[in-house]
């Protein structure tokens, strides 16, 4: 919010309530003194203020019932029932029906038993609607359906016979008289177990199916509209009030909902989400399926999925939101939330023990109910028969159709809040502003709505892709850990196989995982399986990129050796360049030494050599600084080799000689030093020394390789030290060997 907004609002509001224009001007002059901008905004708001009202009113008119259709609050409510002028008296004639006895309160009216004289004599049920609705249109709407209603002929459906208007102008409906009890009450009274309840339920589904086939949607399925009577001792459920809900249907507003508290529209608890919507969406057969789902839920658990009192109490806005958004608890779940006595009572009415009841509902029954209760009507059962059949399958222990939601579906639930609902004619998109928890009705045209749908689908897919990627990475990590286990068991071949399957190493593998790569790489190197080793080390390089120091430079060293041995010269060059990129500025003596060794294994290009200058100086400083008799034998190689590559043979030889005298170097390293020395001597024309050093080195190296390379140990030399030495041996042999000339020094091919 801009800083000035509250001020603007306050001044505007105060000014608006000043009716006298002169005073208002004065007020504005004072409060906005010196602030032209503020004055301008307030002036604009005041100008808008008057014109805004009709604009908003016009808009509002499209959202609500026209005033005539809203029953005035004063006359509605409890008064409507008690008022003797409006209520019909016993014994009076309503149309051709004589009222005999008041049977009860229906959803939105009073029900009487009446007697029909002509054309046949029979007892009927007569329901007078007590809402203050436009009787003419109610009757008209009913007439429209009358034909279809007349075609219905089903054991489980109570026929609607007639409709008319009372003297006082109230609409009434005449129905087949059903003497029975609400289905839920009936089942409880008789302690019907789950199976028996399901069998009753199936019959109800058949009735609804029959009606749907005739094109009639009930719209108001709830326990009080399903009465159970006895035919020859067998319970028969009968669905009543067909066609009435549509006839009296109006748009839901606060007024109609709260006029007579729960009585008016009946419990919203049974309303499908689309029925509750303000736009009065075209409700189809699937709304009935939803209500059937609620019925089933109540039959199984003793309560509907959403508490009716809560729904009515929270206000229209909240009610819609609940129905639209809140996922109800699964039947088995809700039982677990009940307190002891409630749970016991519920179970007793179902002729079962609490734990047994819960486990009975878990699984298939849960899924059947939840499928019928889907917010998205395309995901519900298509037909009442479909629902009935699944229940039947369950009773016969056959596999049901309803399935638990797939992962894709769960993702779509995440975007459920941005659901696009299509209405006949225009398109209504209901979007929820997540941050504010508000809902706005946006009237979009068709194109825009489809666009939104596509975007949402895309979003869902992207989320899926991201999840898939994470999944892949997790899999990779698991494989690497498995490889680590194999390594610890010294099953290197197995570990190698496992790592082969990992195509992209994930970021941040575990420490064990990294070691696994290294160990397997080592093992492969020791067995001279260069191509494989190269691949492993390449992966290790990828991982190492995240971790600059320590064991990593050892890896680089090993990798360099591997690349050369596999004759991968171009990659090797690239690798050297990349290594210097990463480590070129290290001040770590160890690291510097290893980089030098790695990059100078073969005669380097000038550019590379130049880039290694600082490293060389670093290593040399480090080396020179050491006490000649101390344990830095291993450090000889980098500096010796470096000087050699620079062409500074005398210095190189000097370093090497010193190194040979020092402790703390492996046998392999000694061999390497000898070779560097040999080459340096040779270049200085010191043939004898060159020859003898070469011979000594060759002897040791060949002996080692003769017996097969093990991993090596710290004393003898790691495998890569040996291979390193061998590479140098080749170079030295080619140089000196049979006394060939100086000028046939092999350059990098």
Partner 1 sequence: MKHGAGQARLNIEDLDLADTTPDENILLIDEALSCLEQEDPEQARIVVLKFFGGLTNQEVAENLGVGERTVDRQWACAKARLFRWIQAQT
Toward partner 1, which CB reaches closer, 29 or 426? 426
Q: Among residues 327, 231, 265, which one has the least CA distance to residue 129?
A: 265
Instruction: Kindly state whether residue 5 participates in binding partner 1, applying the rule CB under 8 A.
Output: yes
Toward partner 1, which CB reaches closer, 453 or 588? 453
Contact 267, 312 (CB under 8 A): yes
Q: Distance (Å, rounded) from C-alpha 334 to C-alpha 349?
A: 16
Instruction: Kindly state whether residue 44 participates in binding partner 1, applying the rule CB under 8 A.
Output: yes
Toward partner 1, which CB reaches closer, 9 or 469? 9
Contact 401, 386 (CB under 8 A): yes
Contact 20, 33 (CB under 8 A): no
Q: How far is the CB of 448 from partner 1 (least distance, A)?
A: 8
Toward partner 1, which CB reaches closer, 16 or 148? 16
Give, as ranges, the residues between 310 and 349 that touch partner 1 (CB under 8 A).
315-317
Q: Distance (Å, rounded) from C-alpha 394 to C-alpha 689?
A: 94
DSSP SS3 for 79:
helix
Q: How would you classify residue 232: left for phi > 0, otherwise alpha for psi between -120 and 50, otherwise beta? A: left
Toward partner 1, which CB reaches closer, 1 or 234? 1
Toward partner 1, which CB reaches closer, 316 or 641? 316
Q: Distance (Å, rounded) from C-alpha 718 to C-alpha 703?
A: 15
Toward partner 1, which CB reaches closer, 9 or 464? 9
Instruction: Kindly state whether residue 443 participates in binding partner 1, applying the rule CB under 8 A.
Output: yes
In this chain, which stretch among 42-50, 85-93, 591-599, 657-665 interacts with partner 1, using CB under 8 A?
Answer: 42-50
Distances (CA, A) of 189 to 102, 103, 133, 142, 296: 23, 20, 37, 35, 17
Site string for partner 1, 376-395 (x = CB under 8 A): --------------------
Instruction: Kindly state whether residue 447 participates in binding partner 1, applying the rule CB under 8 A.
Output: yes
Which of 2, 19, 118, 713 lies at the binding interface for partner 1 (CB under 8 A)? 2
Instruction: Kindly state whether residue 12 participates in binding partner 1, applying the rule CB under 8 A.
Output: yes
Q: How far is the CB of 72 from partner 1 (least distance, A)?
A: 15
Q: Distance (Å, rounded) from C-alpha 589 to C-alpha 596?
A: 11
Give the tokens for residue 714: 């710290």
Give, as ranges, the residues between 56 and 85 that touch partner 1 (CB under 8 A).
56, 58-64
Q: How far is the CB of 480 from partner 1 (least distance, A)?
A: 48
Q: How far is the CB of 36 from partner 1 (least distance, A)?
A: 17
Residues in contact with partner 1, counted by CB under 8 A, come to a total of 45
Which of 100, 148, 415, 442 lies at the binding interface for partner 1 (CB under 8 A)? 442
Q: How far is the CB of 70 from partner 1 (least distance, A)?
A: 11
Please report where in the chains the tokens 């016969």 appear, as a residue: 396
Which of 34, 91, 425, 708 lies at the binding interface for partner 1 (CB under 8 A)? 425
Instruction: Kindly state whether residue 46 participates in binding partner 1, applying the rule CB under 8 A.
Output: yes
Radius of gyration in angstroms for the set of CA atoms belonging to the chain, rounded to a whole number: 45
Q: How far is the CB of 77 from partner 1 (least distance, A)?
A: 17
Catalytic residue among 220, 288, 390, 522: 220
Contact 141, 129 (CB under 8 A): no
Sheet hosting strand 438-444, strand order edge to edge: 418-422, 427-433, 438-444
Cis peptide leading into residue 303 (ω within 30°): no
Toward partner 1, which CB reaches closer, 5 or 356? 5
Instruction: Kindly state whether residue 433 participates in binding partner 1, applying the rule CB under 8 A.
Output: yes
Contact 708, 686 (CB under 8 A): no
Give, as ranges, the residues between 276 and 295 that touch partner 1 (CB under 8 A).
278
- DSSP H/E element including 598: helix 589-599
Q: How far is the CB of 257 from partner 1 (least distance, A)?
A: 11
Distances (CA, A) of 654 to 589, 642, 672: 20, 13, 15
Contact 103, 110 (CB under 8 A): no
Contact 733, 550 (CB under 8 A): no
Please report where in the chains the tokens 């808009």 appear, as a residue: 59
Residues linked to residue 172 through DSSP beta bridges, in sequence order: 128, 164
Instruction: Kindly state whether residue 436 participates in binding partner 1, applying the rule CB under 8 A.
Output: yes
- State phi, psi for 172 to the nearest 5 degrees: -135, 160
Q: How far is the CB of 415 from partner 1 (least distance, A)?
A: 19
Count of beta carbons in the 10 Å neighbourhood of residue 279: 16
Which of 37, 167, 254, 475 lies at the binding interface for partner 1 (CB under 8 A)? 254
Which of 23, 25, 49, 167 lies at the binding interface for partner 1 (CB under 8 A)? 49
Instruction: Kindly state whether residue 55 participates in binding partner 1, applying the rule CB under 8 A.
Output: yes
Contact 428, 411 (CB under 8 A): no
Contact 668, 725 (CB under 8 A): yes
Q: Among residues 413, 376, 401, 424, which one has the least CA distance to residue 272?
A: 376
In this chain, which stretch among 128-136, 164-172, 440-448, 567-575 interacts with partner 1, using CB under 8 A?
Answer: 440-448
Instruction: Kindly state whether residue 52 participates in binding partner 1, applying the rule CB under 8 A.
Output: yes
Toward partner 1, which CB reaches closer, 282 or 581? 282
Contact 562, 533 (CB under 8 A): yes
Q: How far is the CB of 271 from partner 1 (least distance, A)?
A: 17
Toward partner 1, which CB reaches closer, 234 or 424? 424
162 belongs to the catalytic site: no
Give, as ranges, the residues between 94 and 123 that touch partner 1 (CB under 8 A).
none
* Residue ranges in contact with partner 1 by CB under 8 A: 1-2, 5, 9, 12-13, 16, 44-49, 51-53, 55-56, 58-64, 253-254, 278, 315-317, 425-426, 433, 435-436, 438-443, 445-447
Catalytic residues: 220
């Amino acid at each position: 919010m801009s800083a000035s907004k509250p001020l603007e609002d306050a001044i505007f509001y105060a000014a608006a309530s000043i009716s006298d224009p002169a005073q208002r001007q004065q007020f504005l002059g004072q409060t906005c003194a010196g602030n032209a901008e503020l004055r301008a905004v307030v002036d604009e708001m005041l100008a808008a203020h008057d014109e805004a009202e009709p604009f908003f009113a016009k808009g509002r008119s499209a959202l609500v019932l026209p005033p005539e259709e809203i029953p005035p609050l004063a006359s509605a409510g409890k008064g409507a029932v008690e008022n003797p002028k409006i209520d019909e008296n016993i014994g009076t004639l309503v149309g051709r029906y004589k009222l005999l006895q008041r049977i009860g309160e229906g959803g939105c009216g009073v029900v009487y038993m009446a007697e029909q004289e002509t054309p046949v004599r029979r007892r009927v049920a007569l329901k007078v609607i007590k809402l203050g609705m436009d009787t003419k249109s109610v009757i008209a709407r009913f007439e429209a359906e009358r034909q279809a209603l007349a075609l219905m002929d089903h054991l489980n459906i109570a026929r609607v016979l007639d409709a008319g208007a009372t003297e006082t102008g109230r609409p009434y409906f005449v129905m087949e008289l059903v003497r029975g009890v609400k289905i839920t009450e009936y089942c409880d009274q008789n302690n019907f177990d789950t199976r028996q309840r399901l069998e009753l339920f199936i019959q109800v589904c058949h009735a609804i199916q029959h009606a749907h086939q005739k094109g009639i949607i009930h719209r108001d399925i709830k326990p009080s509209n399903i009465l159970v009577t006895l035919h020859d001792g067998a319970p028969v459920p009968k669905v009543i009030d067909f066609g009435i809900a549509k006839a009296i249907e109006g748009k839901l507003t606060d007024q109609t909902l709260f006029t007579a508290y729960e009585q008016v529209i009946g419990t919203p608890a049974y309303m499908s989400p689309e029925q509750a919507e303000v736009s009065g969406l075209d409700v189809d057969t699937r709304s009935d399926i939803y209500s059937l789902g609620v019925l089933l839920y109540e039959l199984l658990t003793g309560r509907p999925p959403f508490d009716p009192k809560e729904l009515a109490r929270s206000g229209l806005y909240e009610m819609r939101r609940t129905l639209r958004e809140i996922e109800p608890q699964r039947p088995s779940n809700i039982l677990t939330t009940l307190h002891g006595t409630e749970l016991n009572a519920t179970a007793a009415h179902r002729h079962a023990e609490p734990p047994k009841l819960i486990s009975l509902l878990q699984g298939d029954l849960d899924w059947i109910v939840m499928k019928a209760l889907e917010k998205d009507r395309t995901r519900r059962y298509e037909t009442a028969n479909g629902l009935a059949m699944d229940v039947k399958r369950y009773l016969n222990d056959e596999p049901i159709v309803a399935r638990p939601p797939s992962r894709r579906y769960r993702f779509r639930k995440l975007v459920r809040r941005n659901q696009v609902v299509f209405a006949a004619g225009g398109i209504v998109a209901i979007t929820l502003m997540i941050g504010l928890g508000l809902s706005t009705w946006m009237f979009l045209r068709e194109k825009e709505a489809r666009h939104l749908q596509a975007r949402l689908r895309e979003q869902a897919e992207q989320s899926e892709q991201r999840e898939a990627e994470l999944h892949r990475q997790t899999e990779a990590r698991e494989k690497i850990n498995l490889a680590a286990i194999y390594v610890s068991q010294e099953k290197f071949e197995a570990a190698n196989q496992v790592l082969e399957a990992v195509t992209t190493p994930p970021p941040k593998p575990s420490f064990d995982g990294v070691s696994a790569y290294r160990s397997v790489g080592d093992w492969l190197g020791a067995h001279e399986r260069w191509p494989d080793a190269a691949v492993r080390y390449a992966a290790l390089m990828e991982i190492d990129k995240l971790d600059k120091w320590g064991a990593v430079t050892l890896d680089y060293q090993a990798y360099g050796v591997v690349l050369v041995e596999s004759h991968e010269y171009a990659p090797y060059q690239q690798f050297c360049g990349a290594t210097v990129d990463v480590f070129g500025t290290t001040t770590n003596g160890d690291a510097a030494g290893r980089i030098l060794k790695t990059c100078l294994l073969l005669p380097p290009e000038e550019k590379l050599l130049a880039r290694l200058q600082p490293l060389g100086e670093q290593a040399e400083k480090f080396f020179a600084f050491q006490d000649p008799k101390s344990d830095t034998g291993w450090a000889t190689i980098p500096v010796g080799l470096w000087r050699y590559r620079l062409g500074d043979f005398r210095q190189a030889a000097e370093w090497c000689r010193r190194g040979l005298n020092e402790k703390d170097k492996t046998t392999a390293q000694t061999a390497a030093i000898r070779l560097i020395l040999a080459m340096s001597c040779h270049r200085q024309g010191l043939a004898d020394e060159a020859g003898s050093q070469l011979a000594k080195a060759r002897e040791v190296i060949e002996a080692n390789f003769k017996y097969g390379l093990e991993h090596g140990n710290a004393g003898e030399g790691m495998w890569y030290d040996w291979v390193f030495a061998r590479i140098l041996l080749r170079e030295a042999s080619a140089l000196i060997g049979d006394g060939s000339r100086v000028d046939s020094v092999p350059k990098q091919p």
